Amino acid sequence: MRSGSTDLWLTDDQQNVWRAFLAASVVIDDALDAALRPFDLDLGEYEILVKLSEAEDRRLRMSDLADRVRQSRSRLTHTVSRMERKGLINREACPDDRRGVIAVLTRRGFALLEEAAPTHVRSVRDAFVDRVEARDFAALGRAMRAVLEGPGR
């Protein structure tokens, strides 16, 4: 679906970078998931452990947790239920809001995070950080911040 007749379509160069970005995202996700498998964790679960470990008292309202992770709210509810069954998280009623729910990292959840973290970080290095030249890495950071910061040139 590309034609040379208008400025709308991507150039071959732009198309190549765009497709490489999509493909690299999948390769990275797959590598990180594979690294976490021996810990019986996937990337979504790991991300939740990290966010709770960084929160005060290792607890967050579900709505705050939802704002901090990469998954949709419906998937988050699903993931948190699974993690509760594994004993990594408890859900508690919110004292000042009858309909609110708080997710609390358990001691076991924190221990699993500590155990998995070195392997996870190693996989981020192997699949991403250590593959990219330092110069390109800085440019990548600027590019991603430009995407996050809104309307461009």
By the rule CB under 8 A, 136 interacts with its own copies: yes
Q: What binding mask, one character per residue, do residues 82-121 give for its own copies by CB under 8 A, x or -?
A: -------------------------------xx--xx--x
Q: Which is nearer to its own copies, 41 or 127 (CB)?
A: 127
What's the DSSP call for residue 90?
E
By the rule CB under 8 A, 147 interacts with its own copies: yes
Strands (E), 24-125: 59-61, 89-94, 97-105
**Parallel/antiparallel/unpaired status of strands 59-61 and 97-105:** antiparallel
By the rule CB under 8 A, 4 interacts with its own copies: no
Q: Which is nearer to its own copies, 9 or 94 (CB)?
A: 9
Sequence-ordered list of residues with C-beta below 8 angstroms from that of 52, at least 6 positions apart, any chain: 58, 59, 60, 65, 89, 103, 104, 105, 109
User: What is d(CA 84, CA 101) in angstroms, rounded to the nearest whole number?
Assistant: 13
Looking at residues 6 to 65 of the shown chain, list those that interact with its own copies (rule: CB under 8 A): 8-10, 13-14, 16-18, 20-28, 50, 53
Beta carbons within 10 angstroms of residue 28's beta carbon: 16
Chain positions contacting its own copies, by CB under 8 A: 1, 8-10, 13-14, 16-18, 20-28, 50, 53, 70, 113-114, 117-118, 121-122, 124-133, 135-153
